[in-house]
């Protein structure tokens, strides 16, 4: 098995397991909209449901569920196509794409299963809250950041050649 596929398999399995286990745990042990303070004025566990995308974008759109499922499926397909074209030396890119893939699949599972996404990580500074998010969202953000870094480094590698 090529290393890039092993990376995809391991990263996806770990992220999906952690994402789904935490969401099921939150759903079974907390009431909706309840909060557990972890670090005063900085971080809470707050059980939320998000019908939209990031920052509840399009949460009132009539066809939001089929729209978001379609967008997720397209994103997964595009990631797979890009992944298939990776060179063997692009291990960091493989990790980045695997994180984005796993996050997209994790939130897709919620949308298909529940019609919305479970969010529970609540970062804030006193009363200034960042929108609640989850493990899948975190994986997507880290993956995108890694991909951006990789693009910068790839550009520098190309200039040296």
Catalytic residues: 119, 137
Cα separation, 35 vs 2, whole angstroms: 44
Alpha-carbon distance of 94 to 8, in angstroms, equals 7
C-alpha closest to that of 145 among 97, 80, 103, 76: 97
CA end-to-end distance (rounded Å), the chain: 29
**CA 90, 91, 96, 99 torsion: positive or negative?**
positive
Where residue 118 falls (left for φ over 0; alpha for ψ -120 to 50; beta otherwise) is beta
Contact at 8 Å (CB) between 140 and 103?
A: yes
The residues near 45 (Cβ < 8 Å, ≥ 6 apart) are 26, 30, 35, 36, 38, 120, 121, 122
């Amino acid at each position: 098995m090529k290393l890039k596929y092993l990376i995809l398999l391991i990263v996806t399995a770990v992220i999906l397991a952690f994402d789904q286990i935490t969401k099921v745990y939150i759903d079974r042990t907390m009431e909706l909209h309840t909060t557990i303070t972890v670090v005063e004025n900085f971080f809470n566990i707050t059980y939320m449901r998000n019908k939209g995308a990031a920052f509840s974008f399009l949460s009132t759109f009539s066809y939001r569920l089929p729209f978001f499922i379609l967008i997720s499926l397209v994103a997964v397909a595009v990631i797979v196509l890009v992944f298939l074209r990776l060179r063997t030396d692009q291990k960091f890119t493989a990790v980045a794409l695997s994180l984005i893939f796993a996050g997209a699949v994790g939130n897709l599972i919620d949308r298909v299963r529940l019609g919305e996404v479970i969010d529970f990580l609540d970062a804030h500074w006193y009363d200034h809250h960042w929108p609640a998010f989850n493990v899948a969202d975190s994986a997507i953000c880290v993956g995108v950041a890694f991909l951006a870094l990789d693009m910068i480094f790839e550009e520098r590698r190309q200039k040296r050649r």
